[in-house]
Amino acid sequence: AQSVAQPEDQVNVAEGNPLTVKCTYSVSGNPYLFWYVQYPNRGLQFLLKYITGDNLVKGSYGFEAEFNKSQTSFHLKKPSALVSDSALYFCAVRPRSYNTDKLIFGTGTRLQVFP
Amino acid sequence: DSGVTQTPKHLITATGQRVTLRCSPRSGDLSVYWYQQSLDQGLQFLIQYYNGEERAKGNILERFSAQQFPDLHSELNLSSLELGDSALYFCASSTAGTGADTQYFGPGTRLTVL
């Protein structure tokens, strides 16, 4: 079965420190990969996506993600965390082999940035 | 603001009732998706429409149905509601519905079934 794993329910980091939110996937082929962020009582906001090419993808608000094909991972990173980055982060994949554009989401990781 | 609008923001109703959730996609987007977010199931794809036609179905119950109208807005109809249908329902839209397209999400409709 196609699936996405976010192994950490919560990540805690001090403001100014680098952060990493992990994502691995089990999807056949070379899927498209996405990161979204959800703030309380808000919808999902698109951060970045990987289609092809450079393994390091840069996105909104200073976030970037590193694609690793051999490890089937797509970890979200930021060099210096802000308190305002505290939110729920979702990794999602869209298998290229599907005749549909549905996104398969991970369970989400809550990021808490402490001042 | 993603440009995707959803109404209503909140909906409280009783078991056995029927409700309709509405979504207006971003200007120019032809594809609309519906997702359900619940504590136990996470974010689940329900259904996708492209330019008025159903393109794909996910884990959508038979009690649920959707349509996309000629002006491209979409409605999700939920009937014979059960307590377990309480969730946040998101609509998303994308330009052409191809794999690399980014899906932009609306703010969601929070449904509470009492």
| Residue B91 burial class via C-beta count within 10 angstroms: exposed 0-12, middle 13-18, buried 19 and up | buried
Task: Report, as an integer, the average pLDDT of B79-102.
Answer: 90
What residue numbers bound the domain in which A23 lies?
A: 3-114
Cβ–Cβ < 8 Å for B92, B104: yes
- Chain B residues with CB-CB distance to A102 below 8 A: 33, 45, 48, 56, 58
What's the token pair of residue B59? 């884990």
Q: Is A60 helix (H, G, I), strand (E, B) or coil?
A: helix
Contact A45 B100 (CB under 8 A): no
pLDDT at residue B101 is higher than 90: no
Report the C-alpha gap between B70 and B41 in whole angstroms: 32
Of B90, B94, B107, nearest to A101 by CB-CB distance is B94
On whether any CB of chain B is under 8 Å from the CB of A105, the answer is yes
Cβ–Cβ < 8 Å for A36, A92: yes
Separation in Å, CA of B17 to nearest CA in chain A: 25
Selection from A17, A16, A6 nearest residue A73 by Cα? A6
Separation in Å, CA of B61 to nearest CA in chain A: 17
DSSP annotation of A85 reads G
On whether any CB of chain B is under 8 Å from the CB of A110, the answer is no
What residues have CB less than 8 Å from B19, skipping those under 6 apart?
B11, B13, B77, B78, B81, B111
Report the C-alpha gap between B26 and B99 in whole angstroms: 18
Task: Report, as an integer, the average pLDDT of B78-91.
Answer: 97
Residues facing residue B87 across a β-bridge:
B111
On whether any CB of chain B is under 8 Å from the CB of A108, the answer is yes
pLDDT at residue B38 is higher than 80: yes
Report the C-alpha gap between B47 and B42 in whole angstroms: 16
Contact B102 A107 (CB under 8 A): no
CATH number of the domain within which A40 lies: 2.60.40.10
pLDDT means per 10 residues in chain A (115 residues)? 93 98 91 94 91 92 95 97 96 80 92 96
Selection from B82, B87, B103 nearest residue B16 by Cα? B82
The number of domains in chain A is 1
Task: Report, as an integer, the average pLDDT of B83-112.
Answer: 91
Among A101, A103, A109, most B C-beta atoms within 10 A, so best to mutate, is A101
User: Predicted confidence band at B97 (pLDDT cuts at 50, 70, 90)?
Assistant: low
Contact B97 A101 (CB under 8 A): yes
* Other Cβ atoms within 10 Å of A89 Cβ, number: 24
* Predicted local distance difference test score (pLDDT) of residue A102: 85
- What are the helix (H) ranges across B1-114? none
Separation in Å, CA of B109 to nearest CA in chain A: 9
Separation in Å, CA of A98 to nearest CA in chain B: 9
* Predicted local distance difference test score (pLDDT) of residue B74: 98
Cβ–Cβ < 8 Å for B23, B106: yes
What's the token pair of residue B51? 């330019």
Q: Is B75 helix (H, G, I), strand (E, B) or coil?
A: strand
